Amino acid sequence: MTMRASELAGGVRDGSIDPVEHTEKVLEEIERIDKDYHYLNTICADRARKAASDLKKGGSKGRLAGIPLSIKDSIVVKGVESTGGSAILKGYVPVFNATCVERGEKEGAIVIGKTSQDEFGFGAFAVNVGKGFRIPKNPIDPTRATGGSSGGAAGLAKKASFPTISYGESTGGSIVNPASFCDVFGLCPTYGRVSRYGLIDYGNSLDKVGPISRYLSDVALGLEVMAGHDAKDSTSADAPVEEFSSSIGKDLRGLRIGVIKESFGEGTEEDVKDAVWTGIKRLEGEGARYEEVNTPLAFEFGIPAYYIIGTSEASTNLAKYCGMRYGVQEETADGFNEYFTRIRSENLGDEAKRRVMLGTFARMSGVRDAYYLKAAKVRTKIIEEYKSLFKRFDILVSPTVPYKPPTFDEIGRLTPLQHYMADVMTVSPNLAGLPHLNIPAGMKKGLPVGMMAIADHWKESELFRAGAPFERP
C-alpha cells in the first residue's frame, strides 16, 4: 500500500524519513517507469537532489516536506526546460517559477520533473503531443490512452509506487478527464482559486491549475498549498484559503445531489452509467439525496462555445511563438513574415494549427460578432443555467467522460470533431469556472470509470465532502 503524501511529509518533518534517500529512490523509479510510459518530458534530477539535501540540512519543514511533485510541462519551473508539450518551445528554460511551484517548494516539496501533455493543452487523450514528444500510456493498460491534456500527470500519480502529488491544468476538462482514465482523484478548482502566473496559456479565461493524486486527502493538501490570491495574476481571486482537508469525513446527510440527465444518454457507455449510478447510490446510502436535473444549454452549446472562446484566446496566446527570444530560433536572411511563418509551420503540430486557425477565424472582423461575441453571451447563459441549479443543489453529478479509456487505435480512427466530443461532460463546468472533481468510481472490465462532481463557485469543500466515501483505504 502506498503511503499518503501527507504521511510522507510527516515522516520527513519528524526525521523518521530521510528525504535524500527517498528522493533517490523516486528518481530511480521514474527513470524506470518513463521508458515505457512516457509520463515525463523532463526529469530534473539535480534540482530534486539539491532540494532534498537542502531540506535534510534543516531547510523548510513545510506542509509538503519531501513530497515529490511532478509539474505539468505547461507550468514553468525556473531553470527547467518548460515546453507546454510543444516543439516550438524546446529549449525554453524559464528564468522564473510559476507561483504554484514557488508555493510548493516553499513548503518543502521536491520537484522531480515536467509531465507530458497534449501540445499546449489541445486534446483529451494526450495523443496530440508536439513534434518529437512521446505519447504517455495508460498506467492500467498501456495500449490505451491516459486521457488529456494532463496525461503524464495523471498517469504518474497512478503508476508511481511513491506518494506524490501531480500539478495538472484544465481548460476544458484536462484535469478530471485523465484522472478518470487513470483511476485517480483530480480536482479542477474554481477559476481564480489558484494563480495562473507561470502557466503557459491556452485559454486565459478558462485555464486553472489543480492537483491530481491517488488519495483525496493529498489532493486537498495540494490545493491548500497552491491556492490563494497572487498579485502577479490579475484574475486571481481574493477568496480565503480554507482547510479543505477538514471537509473529508464530514457528514453526508442532507447533501443535495443533482444528477445530470443528459449525461446518461445514448452517447455514454453502459459500463460508465452503471459505475456512476453505483457511486450515486453509495452517496445516497451515506445520507445524501438526489434528483435528476437537466442542463440542456450546457450539453447542446457547451462544446461550441468552449471551442470558440478557447481557440480565440489560444490563437492570440500562441502568436508569440515565432522564433524570437526563446525556444526554437534560427539564423535567417528572410523577412519577418517568412521567418515567423516557417518557424511556426515547422514546429506546431496539426491540432495546434487547427485550433489557431479556428480561433483566428472566430475573431476576424465580419465574423467575430457571430462567433466570438456570441459565444461569450452563450457562456453567460450556461453560467446562469448552473447557478440556478446551485440554488437547490450542493453538487451536480455526471460521468467524467462518456467512455472508459480507449485504445490508441480507436483514437486514431476519430475525426478532430469527435475528439472534441470527448469533452462533452467537462467543457461546460470549465466554461463556467466551476470547481469539479473526478472521483474514481471503480473498474469495469478491468478499466477505470470516473464520476464527476461539480460544485458552485468557491465550494470545493462540498467536493471533498462528496468524494470522501471513495477515498482509497
Stretch that binds another protein, among 147-155, 171-179, 283-291, 427-435 (CB under 8 A): 427-435
> Does residue number 324 form part of the binding site for another protein (CB under 8 A)?
yes
Alpha carbons 201 and 236: distance in angstroms, whole number:
15
For the question of residue 149 being annotated catalytic, the response is yes
Judge residue 466's burial from the number of C-beta atoms within 10 Å of its C-beta, 0-12 exposed, 13-18 middle, 19 or more buried. buried
Stretch that binds another protein, among 8-16, 95-103, 213-221, 246-254 (CB under 8 A): 95-103
> Does residue number 209 form part of the binding site for another protein (CB under 8 A)?
no
Q: Which of 354, 403, 408, 469 binds another protein (CB under 8 A)?
A: 354
Per-residue burial over 271-293, b if 16 or more Cβ lie within 10 Å, else e, is bbbebbbebbebbeeeebebeeb
* In contact, 245 and 417? CB cutoff 8 Å: no
Alpha carbons 314 and 321: distance in angstroms, whole number:
12
Q: Which of 196, 214, 404, 465 binds another protein (CB under 8 A)?
A: 196
Alpha carbons 210 and 175: distance in angstroms, whole number:
7
> Does residue number 237 form part of the binding site for another protein (CB under 8 A)?
yes
> Does residue number 345 form part of the binding site for another protein (CB under 8 A)?
yes
Residues 6+ positions from 376 with CB-CB distance below 8 Å: 309
Residues 6+ positions from 111 with CB-CB distance below 8 Å: 44, 47, 48, 51, 69, 70, 71, 77, 80, 101, 104, 105
> Does residue number 307 form part of the binding site for another protein (CB under 8 A)?
yes
Cis omega (within 30 of 0) on the bond before 149? Answer: yes
Residues 6+ positions from 260 with CB-CB distance below 8 Å: 292, 293, 294, 295, 396, 397, 398
> Does residue number 369 form part of the binding site for another protein (CB under 8 A)?
no
> Does residue number 175 form part of the binding site for another protein (CB under 8 A)?
no
Q: Which of 291, 334, 392, 407 binds another protein (CB under 8 A)?
A: 334
Identity of the residue, 46 or 292, whose beta carbon is nearer to another protein in the bound complex: 46
CB 142 → another protein: shortest distance, Å? Answer: 28
Identity of the residue, 60 or 316, whose beta carbon is nearer to another protein in the bound complex: 316
Q: In what order do the strands lie in the sheet with 208-213?
A: 40-43, 110-115, 68-72, 165-170, 208-213, 185-188, 436-444, 447-455, 395-399, 256-260, 289-293
User: By three-state DSSP, how is residue 436 classified?
Assistant: strand
C-alpha cell at 324: 524570437
Identity of the residue, 238 or 266, whose beta carbon is nearer to another protein in the bound complex: 238
Residue type, 259: V
Stretch that binds another protein, among 50-58, 137-145, 210-218, 357-365 (CB under 8 A): 357-365
Stretch that binds another protein, among 7-15, 201-209, 269-277, 438-446 (CB under 8 A): 201-209
CB 437 → another protein: shortest distance, Å? Answer: 17
> Does residue number 167 form part of the binding site for another protein (CB under 8 A)?
no
> Does residue number 234 form part of the binding site for another protein (CB under 8 A)?
yes
Identity of the residue, 326 or 403, whose beta carbon is nearer to another protein in the bound complex: 326
Q: Which of 49, 250, 374, 444 binds another protein (CB under 8 A)?
A: 374
Please tell me what DSSP assigns to residue 455. Answer: E
Stretch that binds another protein, among 2-10, 45-53, 144-152, 334-342 (CB under 8 A): 334-342
The active-site residue out of 70, 74, 82, 149 is 149
The active-site residue out of 70, 86, 174, 180 is 174
For the question of residue 236 being annotated catalytic, the response is no
Identity of the residue, 15 or 335, whose beta carbon is nearer to another protein in the bound complex: 335
Length of the chain: 473
Stretch that binds another protein, among 65-73, 90-98, 142-150, 175-183 (CB under 8 A): 90-98
For the question of residue 217 being annotated catalytic, the response is no
> Does residue number 44 form part of the binding site for another protein (CB under 8 A)?
no
Please tell me what DSSP assigns to residue 465. Answer: H
> Does residue number 372 form part of the binding site for another protein (CB under 8 A)?
yes
Alpha carbons 213 and 226: distance in angstroms, whole number:
14
Identity of the residue, 20 or 376, whose beta carbon is nearer to another protein in the bound complex: 376
Alpha carbons 212 and 227: distance in angstroms, whole number:
14
Q: Which residues in 397-426 contact another protein (CB under 8 A)?
A: 415-417, 420
> Does residue number 202 form part of the binding site for another protein (CB under 8 A)?
no
> Does residue number 389 form part of the binding site for another protein (CB under 8 A)?
no
* In contact, 134 and 28? CB cutoff 8 Å: no
> Does residue number 380 form part of the binding site for another protein (CB under 8 A)?
yes
C-alpha cell at 358: 479556428
> Does residue number 300 form part of the binding site for another protein (CB under 8 A)?
yes
What residues act catalytically? 72, 149, 174
